[in-house]
Amino acid sequence: MRIVRRDRARADILDIFEHIFGNDEDAADRWLDAVNETIDRVIAKNPRIGVKRDYGRPALVGFRMLAVGNFPNYLVFYRIDGTVIRIVRVLHGARDIPNVLDPPDT
């Protein structure tokens, strides 16, 4: 399957890298490696590994969520569309996720 990172997901990754870990280069590098590993290896090889998360909202049906390896407070939200895996958002678990995702950037 092909992976497509939506613009908002790319921005999330950059924001987290810069703002959360910007003061610690080693942590920033480890986090970036972990998020890329989660997306490019774990999700790409087994797209249905993520837990379905629609939060009871029709617009979010089909969303899946998987924690970033070694950084379980960070979550990758994605959809499977035929042969394409769309990475929609990467968020910290403490956020108001249903409201951040709805309406979805699909």
Which CATH number does the domain housing residue 88 bear? 3.30.2310.20
Instruction: Place 60 in a pLDDT band, splitting at 50, 70 and 90.
Output: very high
pLDDT at 94 over 70: yes
Q: Would residue 63 count as lying in a domain?
A: yes
Q: Would residue 35 count as lying in a domain?
A: yes
pLDDT, tens digit, 9 for 90 and up, residues 5-30 = 999 999 999 999 997 777 788 988 99
Instruction: Place 106 in a pLDDT band, splitting at 50, 70 and 90.
Output: low
| 90-95 CB contacts, 8 Å cutoff, 24+ apart | 90/9, 90/12, 90/13, 90/16, 90/35, 91/12, 92/16, 92/20, 93/67
Tokens of 95: 């956020």
Q: Would residue 106 count as lying in a domain?
A: no
The number of folded domains in the chain is: 1
Q: Which domain holds residue 52?
A: 2-101
Instruction: Give the pLDDT confidence score for residue 37 in this predicted structure.
Output: 98
pLDDT, tens digit, 9 for 90 and up, residues 73-93 = 999 999 999 999 999 999 999
Q: Would residue 13 count as lying in a domain?
A: yes
